[in-house]
Chains A and B, each alone.
Chain A
Amino acid sequence: MYLDPAVSRSVKILVVGHFGVGKTTCIGSISEIEPLQTEEEITEASEGFDDLSGTPDKTTTTVAMDFGRLSLSDTLVLYLFGTPGQERFKEMWEGLSRGALGALVLVDPERLHESFPILDLVEQFGLTYAIGVNHFDSTPDYPLDEVREALNLSEDTPVVPCDVRDQGSSAHALITLVKHLMSTLG
């Protein structure tokens, strides 16, 4: 449960994607702890209220976010945060993207259009990313070039097939991202 007493550095990578794309499964397949949840506060505009004061009515709600952990050496630990991609969670992204190494963006080839808002957020927050094309049982292997084209990705953005239930496959996607992060250092 506890980290190595010698641990001196922590880093984080965001695992992002639309609703139901497999973020939690992906994190669970490689985390050394049972994935945990944090409750994050977000402020939202209230609906259905007549606003007499003329200022937007805001309420605070909490949203649960899954994360996992991976000790990479005695001194270094990596956290993986499954970050929901809805625009209304932008506030959470502010904190999570700060200091993040990069993002693994999971996409479902059958629902590619749902990934556009996610890519917008990732780019807005200046995160370097790789695309993991999640492979579902019902999905025939999807030509990766078509995914690249449909998502309008730049040529150097890695696109890897990925079965998020499989540890080796999830790890491969993560390793691809880290190699990409290194290549962007120039």
Chain B
Amino acid sequence: MHDEPDSELELTTALVPLFVIAKGRALPADHEYEHTTLVTAQEGTEAASRTLTPEARAVMDLIADGFLSVAEISGYTRLPLGIVRILLAQMAEDGLLYVRNPAPRAERVDRELLTAVLDGLKTRFGA
């Protein structure tokens, strides 16, 4: 539609410098904590999460009750994706996370996976 919001071009500046939130840590490797990597908090990590930074605690609170993708965590917390990835990598190192990686690249040409996608779409939309 012509009236689609032009938000995709909106350039923003963070209030808190990103390197402060990230505590100077570098981004994890490209294939780690991708947009579609699914994460949830390990059980019994409430105590540990109390000592986290406010941003890290916001992430932990969000994923305490179930699986979300890295992209969704960025969306709900409004933290930039890069920051979310750095925070998650640290939390995983601290044993706070349960991580499910997206279908690996080899599955890209996997008929079984595509069939599951197609069946899911057909079931959902009755097509």
Contacts and interface: CB of A to CB of B under 8 A. Distances in A.
Contacts of B67: 2-5, 7
B90 interface: no
B7 A41 contact: no
A175 B11 contact: no
A38 B117 contact: no
Contacts of A96: 35
Interface residues of A, number: 67
A154 interface: no
Given A5-B66, A95-B35, A101-B114, A10 B102 contact: yes
B82 A41 contact: yes
Contact of B103 (A20, A39, A99, A171): A99
Interface centre among B30, B122, B125 (most CB of A within 10 A): B125
Contacts of B43: none
A84 interface: yes
A81 interface: yes
A70 B114 CA distance: 15
Nearest to A75: B116
A176 to B, nearest CB: 10
Interface string A152-182: 0000000000001101100110110011011
Contacts of A82: 8
A85 B79 CA distance: 23
Contact of B113 (A9, A84, A98): A9
A127 to B, nearest CB: 10
Contacts, number: 191
B4 A24 contact: yes
Interface residues of B, number: 58
Interface in A95-121: 95-96, 98-101
A84 B5 CA distance: 13
A11 interface: yes
A171 B6 CA distance: 24
A69 B118 contact: no
B4 A20 contact: yes
B46 to A, nearest CB: 18
Nearest to B84: A38
B66 A39 contact: no
Contacts of A24: 4-5, 7-8
Contacts of B124: 70, 72, 171
B37 interface: yes
B12 A39 contact: yes
13 contacts: A10-B38, A20-B1, A25-B4, A39-B79, A40-B82, A62-B12, A66-B7, A69-B69, A69-B72, A73-B119, A77-B69, A84-B8, A182-B118
A-B complex: 7 closest residue pairs judged by Cβ atoms: A72-B120, A2-B66, A36-B75, A171-B125, A10-B36, A39-B80, A3-B67
